Amino acid sequence: MIRLNLRTEIFLLFFFAIIFSCENNNHKEINKETSTVSYLASGTQQMIDSLSVIYSKTNFWKHLYATSESADLIEKKLAELRQGDQMDWQLYIKFGLVCLNAGETEKALKIIQEAKDKFPQFATITPNSKQLYDALAIAWLRKGEQDNCILNHSDESCVFPIKGKGIHTNREGSEKAIELYKEILKAYPNDLESRWLINIAYMTLGEYPDGVPTEYLLQPKQIESDYDLPEFPNIAMSTGLDVNDLSGGIITDDFNGDGFIDILASSWGMKDQIRFFVNDGKGSFIDKSKIAGLKGVTGGLNLRQADFNNDGHLDFLIIRGAWHPLSEMGTQPNSLFKNNGNGTFDDVTISSGLYSVHPTQTATWLDFDLDGDLDLFIGNETSNQQESHPCEFFLNNGDGTFTDIAKEIGLDLTTYAKGVNSGDINNDNLPDLYISSMSGGNFLFVNRGGENPREWKFENISKKAGVELPLKSFATWFFDFDNDGLEDIYVASFDDYAFKKQASEVISGYLGQSFQGEHPRLFKNLGNEKFQDITQQVKLDKAVHSMGCNFGDLDNDGFLDFYLGTGAPDYRAIVPNRVFRNNGGKDFQDVTTSGRFGMLQKGHGVSFADFDNDGDQDIYSVIGGAFSGDIFQNVFYENPGNQENKWITIQLKGDKTINQSAKGARIHLEVEMKDGSSRNIYSTVTPGASFGSNSLQQEIGLGAAKSIINLSVKWPDKKNEYISYGKVDIEQKILISKNSMEVKKIPLMPIQFVKKEMTHHHHH
C-alpha cells in the first residue's frame, strides 16, 4: 500500500507542478554582478520536491546502511528496555554499531563499553563475545581517523603505507585499538582481519614496521609495488577539491566548451548536494553548483554524461536508488539534466519521458541503431525476494524525448544489475552491451541490428562467449588492453567476502596466501565473438574487490592502466584503493604504493582526465562510504609526467548524422617509434568504466614515439569503415569534425594549479 501511495503522491505532485509551471523551462540570464540565477527551472524544482516526498516517506528501520535517523529509532527502543529493567546485549551492540556508522563515534564507544562492563559474558574473549571486542576496537580506530585524518586532514592522510603527515598526532584512538587487537589476536592468532588492522594502527602511530609484534607483522617487502611508478601527489586540499562527502559518482569533462576539464561530483545521501566545479583555466576550480541551477539537487551514487539532444553541449544523468530494492529508498527517480549552453542546467526528466522509479546503480549511453542520437540503457536492481525492477532501454526519439522499448527488443532483463557498459566486440560498428550482476552470471548482448528500432535484435551470447563469471560482479568496462584492435572486457568481483571480510582478503593477498572470495576477470577478445579468461596469466587473479574504477594511461606508454576503488561499507574494510599498470599488454603490475595511490578510505566514482592540459592524465576520485558517518575527503592525484613518452589529445565532433561527442568512435594510430619500429595504438571514445566517467576527449599516450604515420577514425555510423586523416604531429591537441577532412590544431593552454594555503576543509 505504501508503494502505491508513494507513487500516486509523486504523480500528483508532478501533475500540479506541471500545471502551475507555466511551461517555462528556460533560465533567465545569469546576472554576472551577483552571480546568481534568478529562479530555478520548473523541472528542477519538481524533482527536488519529488525527492523530498520520498524522503518523508522513508522507513529508516528498513534502511540497509545505518543513518542518524535509524540510530534515533534504536535509541528509543533501548530507552524503553532500560525503563522496564530489561537488558538486551545484542541491541546494545547493534545500537553502538549504528551510532558508529552514523558518525557518532563517542556515543558508540560509550554504549559498547557500557555493554562490556554490564554483561558478565564479555569479561573474556570467546566466540560469543568476540563481536563486541571487534566493535570496540574498530570504534577506537575510527575515532583515531576522525580526530586525525578528517578533522586535521593532510594530503597524506590515510594513504597506505601511512607515513609523513599521515601519522596521527592525537594517538589515543589507535593506541586503544592496538590494546584490543592484541587481546583479540592472543585468543585468535589466525584472525587475519585483526592482523591487518593492527598493522594499520601501528602505521598511524609511525611505529610500523619496528613496533609491530613480529608474529603479526606484514613485511614492508610484501606491500611493495611491482614497478616503480613515480609518486602522484594528492593535491585535492590545495586546489579546494577535497569535498568531504559519502560515496558517489564523478564526471570530468568540459561542460562549458572552454577547453578546460570541469568536475561534477555526487554523494549518495538523499540530502547530499551535487557539486559542480568549473575549471577556470588559471589553476583553480570554482564551485558553481548554485549558479548552474543545481542548488538543492541531491543524491545519486553514479553519474553519466552525454549530449543527448545533439546541440553540442554536454548533458548528464544522475542515477539514484542503488542498493535498496527492498525499501522506499529504492523508489527514487534518476535525473536527466540538459545543459543550456549558458552555464546552467535544467532537469528535463519528466518532459523527456525518462521519469521512472527504480533502484538503479548503472547506465550507459549508446547509439544502438546508428541514427545519430544517443539512446540509454539503464540497469535496475531486482533482488530475489521482491517485485521485479526490469532494466530499461530508452530509444532517443530525436526531439528531446525518449521511449522505453526494452520489452520489445528483449532487453527488459531482471537481474541485480551493478555495472553496464557498451562496446563493439565484433567490429561491426553496432554497439553491444555487457551487464554485470550481483545475482548470478553476467550478460553479453550482441547487437544484431534491424530495420526498425522496435524490431531490433540483441542476442545473449554470454555463455558461448565465456564471459559469465564472476557470479557476483560489480564494475566493468571494455578496453583494448593489448592494442590488437579488439575490445576486451574487465569485470570486478564483489561477493560476500568482499562485503564482510575485505580486510582478511586483502592481507591474504599480500601474504601470498589463498583468499576465499572471487577474483576479477579479464576476458581477452579472440575476434570470433569468443573470449578467453586470461586473468591468471596477466597476474590479475588477486583479492581486489572493487566498486568505483576507471582506466587511462598513467605513464603515456600507449597501454591502458586502471584504478580500482574499494567501496565495501564495513568500517573494518580499511584497505587501499589499488592501481595496476599495463606492462606492454603482457600483464599488469601493482603500482599502488610507489604511486602513493593507496587511499585507505572507501573509493567510489573514479575519473582519468588531463585537468592541467599538460598532456598526461590526472585522477580524481570520490572517497567516502555508504554509512552516513563514513564521510571522507575526495582525492585529486596530479600526474608528475613522463618525459620519455609522447602523447596526443584528440577531440572528435559529430554532425547531424553522428552524435556530437562521437561516443563509440574508434581511433587507430599507426606510430613510428624512436628505434624505427612501428606500432598500433587503439582508442575508443567512451567515459570508460561503469562507476566513474572519464572525459570524452581522447588523451592518448604514444610511448617513445617519433611521429604518427597515420591517424584514422571509424565514426559511429552505418558505413563501418576507418577514414584516414594521414600523418599528424605529436604532442598537440587536435579537433577532427565528421563533416571535414581537416585536422585542426587547438591551442593547448597549460595550467599551473594554484596551490592554495593548506587550510583544512570540513564541508559535510
The Cβ of residue 110 has, within 10 Å, a number of other Cβ atoms equal to 14
Q: What angle do CA 631, 635, 636 make, to 5 degrees?
A: 155
Q: Among 287, 362, 297, 355, which residue's Cα sits nearest to residue 323?
A: 362
Instruction: Give pairs for 179-182: CB < 8 Å, separation 24+.
Output: 180/133, 180/136, 180/137, 180/140, 181/137, 182/213
The DSSP code for 298 is: B
> What is the pLDDT averaged over residues 658-680?
97
User: Which residues, 6+ apart, have CB-to-CB distance to 40 below 8 Å?
Assistant: 48, 293, 295, 296
pLDDT band at 88 (very low <50, low <70, confident <90, very high): confident
282 to 170, 256, 285, 353, 608: CA distances (angstroms): 37, 15, 9, 40, 20
Residue type, 606: V
How far apart CA 724 and CA 708 sit, in angstroms, is: 12
Using 50, 70 and 90 to split pLDDT, how confident is the model at 69?
Answer: confident
pLDDT greater than 50 at residue 401: yes
Which pLDDT value is given to residue 82? Answer: 74
Count of alpha carbons within 13 Å of 41, Cβ hemisphere only? Answer: 28
Q: Give the full edge-to-edge strand order of the sheet including 443-449.
A: 417-423, 432-437, 443-449, 457-460
Instruction: Tell me what pLDDT residue 141 has.
Output: 98
Instruction: Count CA atoms within 13 Å of residue 132 on its CB side.
Output: 25
Task: Give the pLDDT score at 2.
Answer: 35
Per-residue burial over 500-517, b = 16 or more CB atoms within 10 Å of its CB, e = otherwise: bbbbbbbbbbbeeeebeb
Per-residue pLDDT band for 85 (boundaries 50, 70, 90) equals: low
pLDDT attached to residue 63:
65
Predicted local distance difference test score (pLDDT) of residue 300: 95
The pLDDT, as a whole number, for residue 606 is: 98
Strands (E), 168-229: none
Burial class (CB in 10 A: 0-12, 13-18, 19+), 414: middle
| DSSP 8-state class, residue 149 | I
| Dist. CA 345–CA 23, nearest whole Å | 16
Whether the CB-CB separation of 313 and 339 falls below 8 Å is answered with: yes
pLDDT for the residue numbered 29: 35
Tens digits of residue pLDDT in 522-572: 999 999 999 999 999 999 999 999 999 999 999 999 999 999 999 899 999
Nearby residues of 352 by Cβ (< 8 Å), 6 or more positions away: 308, 336, 400, 401, 402
Tens-place pLDDT, residues 321-366? 999 877 777 889 999 999 999 999 999 999 999 999 999 999 999 9
Classify burial at 333, counting beta carbons within 10 Å of its beta carbon; exposed 0-12, middle 13-18, buried 19 or more. buried
**Does residue 496 register a pLDDT over 90?**
yes
Q: How far apart are CA 659 and CA 307, in angstroms?
A: 7
Say if CB 417 and CB 436 are below 8 A apart.
yes
Residue 390: cis peptide before it, omega within 30 degrees of 0: no
The Cα-based distances of 706 to 613, 618, 677 in angstroms read 21, 24, 10
pLDDT of 4 above 90: no
Residue 733: φ, ψ to 5° = -110, 130
Q: Which of 487, 593, 468, 592 is nearest to 533 (CA)?
A: 468
Residue 364's nearest CA partner among 740, 743, 758, 692 is 692
Which has the closest alpha carbon to 231: 615, 640, 550, 642? 640
In contact, 529 and 459? CB cutoff 8 Å: no
Q: Which 8-state DSSP code applies to residue 75?
A: H
pLDDT of residue 728 exceeding 50, the answer is: yes
Higher pLDDT, 17 or 89: 89
Task: Convert 208-240 to b/e letters by CB count within 10 Å (16 or more is b).
Answer: beeebeeebbbeeeebebbeebeebebbbbbbb
Res. 30 pLDDT band, cuts 50 70 90? very low
pLDDT in tens, 239-274: 989 999 999 999 999 999 999 999 999 999 889 999
Helix (H, G, I), strand (E, B) or coil at 503: helix
Tell me which amino acid residue 555 is: D
State yes or no: pLDDT of 386 exceeds 80: no
User: Residue 593: CB partners within 8 Å, gap ≥ 6?
Assistant: 160, 161, 223, 224, 225
Long-range contacts of 117-122 (CB under 8 A, 24+ apart): 118/87, 118/89, 118/92, 119/87, 119/89, 119/92, 121/89, 122/89
Read off the pLDDT of residues 191-220 as tens digits, 9 standing for 90 and up. Answer: 999 999 999 999 999 999 999 999 999 999
Residue 145 has pLDDT above 90, yes or no: yes
Print burial letters for 653-682: b (CB count within 10 Å at least 16), e (below 16).
Answer: bbbebbbbbbbbbbbbbbbbbeeeeeeebb
Lowest-confidence range among 29-43, 88-102, 701-715? Answer: 29-43
According to the model, what pLDDT value does residue 61 have? Answer: 67
Tell me the Ramachandran region of residue 596: left when phi exceeds 0, alpha when psi lies from -120 to 50, beta otherwise: left
Residue 742's identity, in one-letter code, is: E
Cell numbers of 263, please? 568536475
Q: Tell me, what DSSP letter sits at residue 386?
A: S
Number of C-beta neighbours around residue 6 at 10 A? 18
Query: Roughly what angle, to the nearest 10 degrees, separates helices 130-144 and 172-187?
Result: 160
3-class secondary structure, 649: strand
Q: Which amino acid, residue 26?
A: N
Chain centroid offset of residue 160 CA = 20
Tens-digit pLDDT profile for residues 405-461: 999 999 999 999 999 999 999 999 999 999 999 999 999 999 999 999 999 999 999
